[in-house]
Amino acid sequence: MNWDSLLTDLESRFDAERRTNIAAEAADLAEAEIAALHLADRLRGAVGRTVHLRTRGGAAVDGVVRRAEDAFVLLDEGEGIQSLVPLEAVALASPLPGPAPALNGHHRPSLQGALREFARAGTRVRVICASQEVTGRLARVGADYIDVARDPVSGHAPGAITIALAVIDVIRSR
């Protein structure tokens, strides 16, 4: 019996088994990492790139990602139009690269916080929901709703209309 051959063979089998185990562990870790990703992470990886979104209500939003937060994405659609899309309204998105690194410990603006900034600035907006569009200025931002003061030229009676945040697909502004 050749001990040297036997030990070499045993060592070779051990190395092969170790490589197989390492590959399996790496695949498990990669799968776990992907399972922990959120849409916001993928959109953060797309900052500065053009993406095509389709909302649950069917609205198409195409533009360059300017910001991606946990609750919304801000796109520049060109010609001075910016669109704020709540992430819960996004049905489809393409193309999306890999995720951006997580920004742990940083305070991330909420959807309501972004909308309050629009309201303070007096920005004219077009709110798109599945059932209709409302044009005007944000008058009030609550925990789960906004009040939009309609433009007098919009053909509707003057006054504010209340819209639940949960039904908003897109908020566009110039």
Domain boundaries, the chain: 39-173
What pLDDT was estimated at residue 146? 97
What pLDDT was estimated at residue 28? 61
**The domain at 39-173 falls in which architecture?**
Roll (2.30)
Strand positions, DSSP E, the chain: 50-55, 60-68, 72-78, 81-86, 90-94, 124-129, 133-141, 145-150, 160-164, 168-173
Q: Measure the CA–CA gap between 112 and 70, rounded to whole angstroms.
A: 12
What pLDDT was estimated at residue 44? 93
What pLDDT was estimated at residue 43? 95
Cis before 97? omega within 30: no
3-state SS assignment for residue 111:
helix
Between the alpha carbon of residue 85 and those of residues 28, 127, 155, the distances in Å are 33, 10, 25
What pLDDT was estimated at residue 19? 80
Low-confidence residues of the chain: pLDDT under 50: none
What pLDDT was estimated at residue 81? 96
Q: Per residue in 2-15, pLDDT tens?
A: 777 777 877 888 77
Q: Measure the CA–CA gap between 94 and 91, rounded to whole angstroms.
A: 11
